[in-house]
Structure 1
Amino acid sequence: MLISMISAITNDRTIGNANKMLWYLPADFSWFKRCTIGKPIIMGRKTFESIGYVLPERKNIVLTRDKKLRIEGVLTAFSLDEALEVLGENVNEVMIIGGASIYQSYLSRAQRLYLTHVNCNLHGDAYFPDWGTGWSIVYKKNHFADKRNSYDMTFLILERNI
């Protein structure tokens, strides 16, 4: 099973502030949907709470330390290994969608990164970890600011070099 991560990041890898996204970018939301639809998504509890609802057409799994947490329409797990075990072997790719501590904890296990590089510098308190070297860009598409999207952005797919 391929373990992938998806995130939108600023020039300094900021991803949010006070458990909220820093922007409203419909082009990024479309990219996120295209990349995750039909795939299981794994997120931390705070990320789920910031989204506020179960994302449709995807199996939603929330990682939590709270063994009593139950959310209708969502599977809960206490580790990535448990989440992957719950999914079974018939899954080709799983998408980790945040937040910062989940990215940090599991980046070493990711084989693919779907990143939206938002060309801006904004204050935040949550960051995507530095993925370092050892990755190759396999897809790159620019989207320039327009009436609906305040910032230039680049959609990227990186794969870990083996």
Structure 2
Amino acid sequence: MKLSLMAAKSKNGVIGNGPDIPWQAKGEQLLFKAMTYNQWLLVGRKTFESMGTLPNRKYAVISRSDFVSEDENVMVFSSIESALRQLADITDHVIVSGGGEIYRSLISKVDTLHISTIDIETEGDIVFPDIPDSFSLAFEQKFESNINYCYQIWQNS
């Protein structure tokens, strides 16, 4: 099973402030919507609760609490390991979509990183981990918007 990771971060590495994303760069979330369409997303419970469900996606939610979902497109797991084990039987691709703890746990295990760096330095309490040295930059495109951003694809060797 292929693992990708998708994140947006500020220039100083912030990805969130509590449940909120501390910017709105017009167009950047369209990348997320396009890349995740008809895909499995692996997310932590807090991230899932703050983002909600987008149509035409399936969710593997990691929760240490007694969180449950009645949504047929949502599966809840008590650990990342059990989620990956079960997902391997039902899909060939999963996109790791946050939050900070999930990113830290999986960044070195994914095949591909899809990173948008927003041209802003902001305050926040959730920071994206450093990209491991095993990754190399494969693609980069800059976008001009209300807040400029740069989209990069990194491949794990």
Q: Same fold (TM over 0.5)?
A: yes
Matched, 1:62 2:61: yes
User: How many Å separate the matches in 2 of 1:97 and 1:62?
Assistant: 10
| Aligned twin of 1:34 | 34
Runs of 4+ with deviation above 3 angstroms? none
Q: How does 1:41-120 map to 2 (within 5 A)?
A: 41-51=41-51, 53-66=52-65, 68-73=66-71, 74-120=74-120
Residue 86 of structure 1 deviates from its aligned partner by 2.5
Which stretch has the larger CA shift, 69-78 or 88-97? 88-97
| Aligned twin of 2:147 | 151
Which stretch has the larger CA shift, 87-96 or 13-22? 87-96
Counting matched residue pairs gives 155
Q: Alpha-carbon deviations, 1:15-38, whole Å to 9, x = none?
A: 011221011223111100111111
Which stretch has the larger CA shift, 68-77 or 110-119? 68-77
Matched, 1:134 2:130: no
Residue 140 of structure 1 deviates from its aligned partner by 1.2
| Aligned twin of 1:7 | 7
User: How many Å separate the matches in 2 of 1:46 and 1:32?
Assistant: 18
User: How many Å separate the matches in 2 of 1:88 and 1:111?
Assistant: 15
Residue 39 of structure 1 deviates from its aligned partner by 1.1
Q: Alpha-carbon deviations, 1:47-98, whole Å to 9, x = none?
A: 01111x22211111110012x3211221101122211233243523200110
Runs (5+) with no aligned partner, structure 2: none
User: How many Å separate the matches in 2 of 1:78 and 1:31?
Assistant: 29
TM-score by length of 1: 0.89
Q: Which amino acid in 1 is paired with 2:37?
A: I
Instruction: Among all aligned residue pairs of Structure 1 and Structure 2, give the percentage whose two residues are the same amino acid.
Output: 28
